[in-house]
Amino acid sequence: MLTTVSRIAFTVALLGIGAGATSAQSSAKLALPQASPAATLQQRVGLTDIEIKYSRPSARGRQVFGDLEPYGVVWRTGANSATTISFSTDVKFGGVDIPAGTYALASIPGKQEWTVILNKATQQWGAYAYDAKNDIARVTTTAVTIRHPVETFTIDLNDLRDDSATLDLSWQHTRVPVKLEFNTVAIGEKRIAAAMAGGKKLSAPEYDSAAMFNLEHNLDLDKASDWIEAAIAAQPDAFYLYYHQAQILAKKGDKAGAIAAAKKSIDQAAASHNPALKDEYTRLNQKIIARVGGE
């Protein structure tokens, strides 16, 4: 049985636990659904990392542009805090040169044409404190009518290439595109030169990446040949390297060399324990052989 002292101590302990629980509950953040939930989009385009942070309102039966978001008025291009967009390298934004950095993304909706804005003031709520003096780019773009309505405002990056993409703002029946362009070739060449400076040796995958970069961007094919040979010397049993060599030699016009490299790739792929991989590289190399006029 509990003594009187024990009962008192037990009661005090219970009260303490209860008080602590109540205090913890009262200090907890009240988490409820948000009308315009936050979203983050991250996308690499070529050698550039892009990050977009915004909140996504929904139409909910309302007429959006021309009513909820009036024409001719600066819009935060989302909800809540200012929408931001970050570029890890310099970019042409709708044809305007923009340094790498983070910017507020604002816009002015119009019936046919929109003005899309990059602004230096990223730490603001909405566009209430918007100041055109902080603009670093204003581009005009034609709005596109889309057949299937987009219920929730969406920012996306489409038409991805090594050196370009399209920034799309879509809501209800409207899509607003802005062309993004990047100097990927200059960045890539600079990185390759830095990696090989002073005669530094690279790994087989690095030599291969450098060789394929030159091939895919119509750059110096002699250098590409040297680099793929260095890759093969470092990893002579890699059948995919011979396939890449066949591609480079075919583009250089060296038919005999391309056929020999393709056949070497087929022979090495035949030793693979993965039948699907073997079949794929056999097919790819046979296409090169057929294209350059081999048997």
- Which domain CATH number covers 281? 1.25.40.10
**Of 57-66, 166-175, 269-278, the least confident:** 269-278
Say whether both 115 and 191 belong to one domain: no
Angle at 32 between CA 57 and CA 106, to 5 degrees: 25
Q: How confident is the model at residue 9, as a pLDDT?
A: 46
Say whether both 207 and 149 belong to one domain: no
Residue 24 placed within a domain? no
Residue 1 placed within a domain? no
Residue 27 placed within a domain? no
- Between 294 and 5, the more confident residue is 294
Domain limits at 216?
184-291
Q: How confident is the model at residue 10, as a pLDDT?
A: 42
Across the beta sheet with 79-87, the strand order is 38-45, 48-55, 79-87, 101-108, 113-119, 135-142
Residue 110 placed within a domain? yes
Residue 18 placed within a domain? no
Residue where a domain stops, chosen among 162, 181, 200: 181
Residue where a domain stops, chosen among 181, 201, 229: 181
Say whether both 162 and 279 belong to one domain: no
Q: Is the pLDDT of residue 200 over 80?
A: yes
Residue 97 placed within a domain? yes
Coil, strand or helix: which one is 205? helix
Global confidence as pTM: 0.83
pLDDT digits (tens, 9 = 90+) for 233-273: 999 999 999 999 999 999 999 999 999 999 999 999 988 88
Say whether both 166 and 277 belong to one domain: no
Say whether both 45 and 169 belong to one domain: yes
Angle at 34 between CA 33 and CA 37, to 5 degrees: 120
Q: Strand pairing partners for 155?
A: 169
Say whether both 232 and 275 belong to one domain: yes
Residue 8 placed within a domain? no
Say whether both 164 and 63 belong to one domain: yes
Say whether both 177 and 193 belong to one domain: no
**C-alpha closest to that of 86 among 51, 112, 62, 58:** 51
Say whether both 157 and 232 belong to one domain: no
Say whether both 90 and 175 belong to one domain: yes
Coil, strand or helix: which one is 157? strand
Residue where a domain stops, chosen among 143, 166, 181: 181
Q: How confident is the model at residue 107, as a pLDDT?
A: 98
Instruction: State how many domains the chain has.
Output: 2
Q: How confident is the model at residue 111, as a pLDDT?
A: 95
Q: How confident is the model at residue 59, as a pLDDT?
A: 97
Say whether both 71 and 130 belong to one domain: yes
On whether the CB atoms of residues 205 and 231 are closer than 8 A, the answer is yes
Give the integer Cα–Cα distance in Å for 86 and 52.
Answer: 6
Say whether both 76 and 141 belong to one domain: yes
Q: Mean pLDDT in the chain?
A: 91
